[in-house]
Amino acid sequence: MSFSKIFTAAAEDIDELGHVNNAVWVRWIQDLAVAHWEAVAPDEHRHAFVWVVTRHEIDYRGNLAEGASATGKTWVPEPPRGARFNRHFCFADSAGRTLVEGITTWAMLDRASGRLVRVRPDIAAPFLVG
């Protein structure tokens, strides 16, 4: 299932060029993924596992000025491979124009041991599109 969240550019998000800094977009990508996990995963999964990013692939196509908002959307189109899966994301402005999009690879860790663990089908199922 896909998940959406609105992000608004605050004064501290703006760089010397007058728009959202690239580091802020990366934070929003993570915030979007974490919000999706927290909204969908059952308590027992949220307490047992934690996710880490292993790779970002980001295309910057536009930007936002202070006070402007973008809707971030994320989805997982394919089943996981072992401990990892690819999460797609797209941020669009109020006119629907894509500003930032890409794919982030996440790996699941056992919260207690910190070790990589295979993403079981029951953990992945609520996040898969289709």
The Cα 86–Cα 84 span in angstroms is 7
pLDDT tens-digit readout, 41-61: 999 999 999 999 999 999 999
Using pLDDT thresholds of 50, 70 and 90, give the confidence band for residue 129.
Answer: confident
The Cα 76–Cα 85 span in angstroms is 8
The answer to whether residues 105 and 88 touch, using CB atoms and an 8 Å cutoff, is no
Tell me the residue length of the chain: 130
pLDDT tens-digit readout, 106-128: 999 999 999 999 999 999 999 99
| Res. 130: pLDDT tops 80 | no
Q: For residue 125, which phi and psi values (nearest 5 degrees)?
A: -50, -45
What is the DSSP secondary-structure string of the chain? --EEEEEE--GGGB-TTSSB-HHHHHHHHHHHHHHHHHHHS-HHHHHHEEEEEEEEEEEE-----TT-EEEEEEEB-S--BTTEEEEEEEEE-TT--EEEEEEEEEEEEETTT--B----HHHHGGGB--
Place of tokens 């998000």: 13
| Res. 1: pLDDT tops 90 | no
pLDDT tens-digit readout, 10-53: 999 999 999 999 999 999 999 999 999 999 999 999 999 999 99
The answer to whether residues 122 and 70 touch, using CB atoms and an 8 Å cutoff, is no
